[in-house]
Amino acid sequence: MRLATWNVNSIRTRVDRVTDWLQRADVDVLAMQETKCSDEQFPTMPFAALGYEVVHSGFNQWNGVAIASRIGLDDVQAGFAGQPAWGDKPDVPAAAEARALAATCGGVRVWSLYIPNGRTVDSAHYVYKLQWLAALRETAATWLTEVPSAPIALVGDWNIAPTDDDVWDIEFFEGSTHVTEAERAAFGSIVDAGFTDVVRPFTPGPAVYTYWDYTQLRFPKNRGMRIDFILGSPALAARVAHAEIVREERKGKQPSDHAPVLVELTEHR
């Protein structure tokens, strides 16, 4: 099974790039983030033409998560227990955003996750980000407690660089989100709950990134961040035979500012 995650930064803009890569990379399941469209606007047909079923959770031009699979989409679930709501307008009730979507694909429980950005460390959105991560940790831990042998993949754009090696210049990010002690501790708590970064052993750093800003020639200069991850439960981690960050997909015409992250799993024994 070949499982990938990709922050596509608008699926309607990049559907041709995404479907082209799916074919070339022989991907079985792709989790997508930042689709930036409603369910009705998602371009399902190009995926269907290639034999992929798609499930999507999106409300408007912000956020949005999806899963495309050619090996089944079962037990679809939007959001997780305890997922915090967000609202920054006094006259609009807070609501859960389209940031978490799950489906069972070929026996693997896949969660496409788009963790809140946090904006600035003095922002209410930063507090929301930490609450969101804490809720995910609590709920994900119960999944392993209930079924320790469950193959679970928590994949997506985490908006956290867990180590100094995961950014091109730690001094540049001083005082910014993505690298704070609290965010890194939140990421670490999910690892401590039993979910392993299954890609890093195959892509050791430093200077190995998944995201490069569009401005100031950040990509050609390799001034990036590693913020996209596949965290696997023990049962899933034991099956990882290969992993890579597909840097080439950050090149070319109208790329996303993120590269896909891919793992290859052996058959379940």
Active-site residues, by number, are 114, 157, 258
Q: Does 117 count as an annotated binding residue?
A: no
**How far is residue 211's CA from residue 114's CA, in Å, rounded to a whole number?**
14
For residue 165, say whether it is annotated as part of any ligand binding site. no
178 annotated as belonging to a binding site for a ligand:
no
CA separation (Å) from 137 to 30, 83, 190, 194? 23, 10, 5, 10
DSSP-derived secondary structure letter, 267: P
What token pair was written down for 67? 């899963």
Residue 192 marked in a binding site: no
Long-range pairs for 38-47: beta carbons < 8 A, 24 or more residues apart: 41/12, 42/11, 42/12, 42/66, 43/11, 43/12, 43/15, 46/15, 46/16, 46/19, 47/19, 47/22
Task: Say whether 9 counts as a known binding-site residue.
Answer: no
Q: Is 257 annotated as a binding residue?
A: yes
Question: Do residues 86 and 128 make contact, with C-beta atoms less than 8 angstroms apart?
Answer: yes
Query: First CA to last CA across the chain, in angstroms?
Result: 13
Q: Which residues are annotated as a binding site for Mg(2+)?
A: 7, 34, 157, 159, 257-258
